[in-house]
Amino acid sequence: MSDGSEKRTGVAAALDNAFKRAQAQEQAEGEVVLDINSAKFIIFSDLHKGNRNGADDFRACERAYNAALAYYYRLGYTLVVLGDVEELWEERPKNVLKAYSHTLELEGRFFQDGRYLRFWGNHDDDWGHPDLVEKLLSPALGGGPIKVREARILHIRDGAKELGIVFLTHGHQGTLDSDLIAPISKLFVRYIWRPLQRLTKISFNTPAKEFRLRKAHDLAMYQWSEAQEKVVLIAGHTHRPVFKSETHDVVIRKALSKAEEKLAKDPENPDMQQQIADLAAELEWVLAQNMQSPGDFPAVQLKKPSYFNTGCCAFSDGDVTGLQISNGKIQLVRWPDDEEAPKPKVMASTKLKDVFADC
């Protein structure tokens, strides 16, 4: 859509409808309550697991993602996979499930322990059909009944005090190609784009070709969350990590600006010089990873830290990003760490009660 206001209106209406459907499910099934003092969640999205061919965007990230699953399973986390887990626009479900049977086995450990939440996105909307889930996905996760959801409401408490609501959904709602005409898009990708991608190795799922559209969609999701009361939206879809309504590059820019102000007061400080060099390098790394122009976009006045985005598990460099909830905090994490070790790197962190206090 060329008109930004039309896009925001469409996304807002679609998210309103998804939220209402989640409320109806909650009435039928009961509330899910999380206490920030004991909850341990790791949220990943947008793996786009394929068939280990030239069109498979997950291959480079498999090592980091599998390591993360082993780590969080042993620490007792609940795993949330927030849609576009398999790339089913380009591949048949059976092919993907076979290609990544070990990764699914690792996910299945969470499922078998009752520590697993699955959501469908636009690229794996096959899992919105319970018959396909029962026939194909459930056996791949070790067997047993599983509900793959469009959205879910989590009630967040600090002891007896309710802080607010976390609304989990993939985030494709309201987009023309991913929601409104998804069946047409799916046929195009499967029968035209897929053979071309396998030959050219051009990635369809990274933010590369649609950066401005993805930024606009992030803004639309933020503005929907801003209009809510005590609601924090956690989504995926855009492949851009967002923390407290700010994208990763914006967080780095702010840190770099503050460091430069300090250096101006003490120009010979070697520690500040090193910090600025590290931040400048990290900024260029993130911009290149997103295939984003170094030029800044018009600033948007952010009133609430109400929107978070996992990023994705399909970055071309093999990194994966996610959102970690534990010890009363929500954190943006990246695997691997700066030393390329199989450990989480915390890129941003804040207390959940502070987030809701500002919402």
Give me the domains of the chain, ranges plus CATH numbers.
4-245+302-357 (3.60.21.10)
**What pLDDT sits at residue 254?**
84
> Which pLDDT does position 284 carry in this prediction?
86
The CA distance from 300 to 315, in Å, is 26
Q: Which long-range contacts (CB under 8 A, 24 or more apart) does 62-67 make?
A: 62/100, 62/103, 63/318, 63/342, 64/313, 64/318, 64/319, 64/320, 64/335, 64/336, 64/342, 65/103, 65/313, 65/320, 65/335, 66/102, 66/103, 66/106, 67/335, 67/336, 67/342
pTM of the model: 0.84
Q: What is the pLDDT of residue 298?
A: 44
Q: What does each of the 359 residues of the chain score in pLDDT, given as a tens digit?
A: 344 566 678 889 999 999 999 999 999 999 999 999 999 999 999 999 999 998 898 999 999 999 999 999 999 999 999 999 999 888 889 999 999 999 999 999 999 999 999 999 988 988 999 999 999 999 999 999 999 999 999 999 999 999 999 999 999 888 665 555 556 666 666 667 656 655 665 555 443 346 667 788 888 999 999 999 999 999 999 888 999 888 778 888 888 988 999 999 999 999 999 999 988 998 887 777 665 554 444 445 568 999 999 999 999 889 999 999 999 999 999 999 989 999 999 999 999 999 999 99
Give pLDDT, residue 203. 52
- pLDDT for residue 297: 45
Question: What is the four-CA torsion angle of 224, 253, 65, 82, rounded to 10 degrees?
Answer: 0
Q: CA nearest 263: which of 255, 294, 286?
A: 255
- Element containing residue 70 per DSSP (H, E): helix 62-74
